[in-house]
Amino acid sequence: MYLFKRSNDLKKHLELVRKSNKSVGFVPTMGALHSGHLSLIQAAKKENEVVVCSIFVNPTQFNDPKDFEKYPITIEEDIKKLNDASTDILFLPSVEEMYPEGLQSGLQYDFGTLETILEGKFRPGHFQGVGRIVHKLLDIVKPDGLYMGQKDLQQCLIVRRLLEITHLPVKLVVCPTERESDGLAKSSRNTRLSPAARKKAVAIYQALETLRQNFGKGLHFLEGAHEAMDDLKAKGFEPEYLDILLVENGTLRHIDEPPGNHTVVAAVAAWLDGVRLIDNMVLQGSL
């Protein structure tokens, strides 16, 4: 595996790759890699001749400085996992490399209401930071395909919008959420849970699964979401949201009428043991 820390070196290398007509798949990450990330590498490998992974803990998307400080960093293990997965290129830039202009920015992307609900509401500025770094990374890597996880569903929709805004000719592939054997969505932040909290954490998945099963039975699903939120509270979680939404025209909309044939998802964010966990599930249709 090639390792590049400088964007100019990576760009030069990728120019040669493109000259030989090889397609490039790209998997951006913040490291502390687990099998969820590796499933994205596999998906990229299936469809491309060369796969680039980036590891960069992006400061501009952290609204909470404590979350940034505590973000797990396991570079040695990550490199081994990427090598074992036959990744072709790792891009491992520094903050100075990615933000020579400094962390403040005057530029604002127009992500519409997608930025004001769920993650956008509880992590102000987060999606502007995601947009800024993904835009920079895409300008450097210029991939044919971009592989991202459904676990961060709203992020996928934000990036889809970013591709429209920037007219970058990149195919976004949304890959399914990898789960632990009990159903908990794999996440780098899971490593910060105590053993007792880790056992409890599965309740998030169970809440979504119950909503999915009841959705088809015609029960009043919005009430079901309130009950599920209360149930999580009773179990010691501090939920920020547990919402049922329509996926429509590339955005998410709260449901105020019967959803018809639209794709419907349930999305949740909850604190447990000082760790913020997110997950989502499709209740009807497909993404």
Ligand X SMILES: CC(C)(CO)[C@@H](O)C(=O)[O-]
Question: Considering CB distances under 5 to 8 angstroms, the limit depending on partner class, which of ligand X, ligand ATP, ligand BAL, none binds residue 133?
Answer: ligand X
* Residue 279 is a binding residue for ligand ATP (CB under 6 A): no
Phi-psi region of 231 (alpha: psi -120 to 50; beta: other; left: phi over 0): alpha
User: Shortest approach of ligand X to residue 188 CB, angstroms?
Assistant: 8
Question: Which of 85, 92, 134, 228: binder of ligand X (CB under 6 A)?
Answer: 134
User: Shortest approach of ligand ATP to residue 153 CB, angstroms?
Assistant: 8
* Residue 161 is a binding residue for ligand ATP (CB under 6 A): no
Residues 141-160 that bind ligand BAL (CB under 6 A): 152, 155
User: Shortest approach of ligand X to residue 27 CB, angstroms?
Assistant: 9
Question: Considering CB distances under 5 to 8 angstroms, the limit depending on partner class, which of ligand ATP, ligand BAL, ligand X, none binds residue 134?
Answer: ligand X
Nearer to ligand ATP (CB atom), residue 60 or residue 188: 188
Phi and psi angles of residue 240, each rounded to the nearest 5 degrees, phi first: -95, -40
β-pairing verdict for 89-91 and 171-175: unpaired
Return the number of other C-beta atoms located less than 10 Å from residue 122's C-beta. 15
* Residue 240 is a binding residue for ligand BAL (CB under 6 A): no
111-118-131 Cα angle (round to 5)? 35
Nearer to ligand BAL (CB atom), residue 145 or residue 149: 149
- b/e per residue, 57-74, with b = 16+ CB within 10 A? bbebbbeeeeeeeebeeb
How far is Cα 166 from Cα 249, in angstroms, rounded to an integer? Answer: 18
* Residue 61 is a binding residue for ligand BAL (CB under 6 A): yes
Question: Which of 185, 204, 246, 270: binder of ligand ATP (CB under 6 A)?
Answer: 185
Q: Is 13 a catalytic residue?
A: no
Nearer to ligand X (CB atom), residue 191 or residue 213: 191
Q: Which residues are annotated as a binding site?
A: 30-37, 61, 149-152, 155, 186-189
List the catalytic residues: 37
Chain positions contacting ligand X, by CB under 6 A = 28-30, 58, 61, 130, 133-134, 152, 155
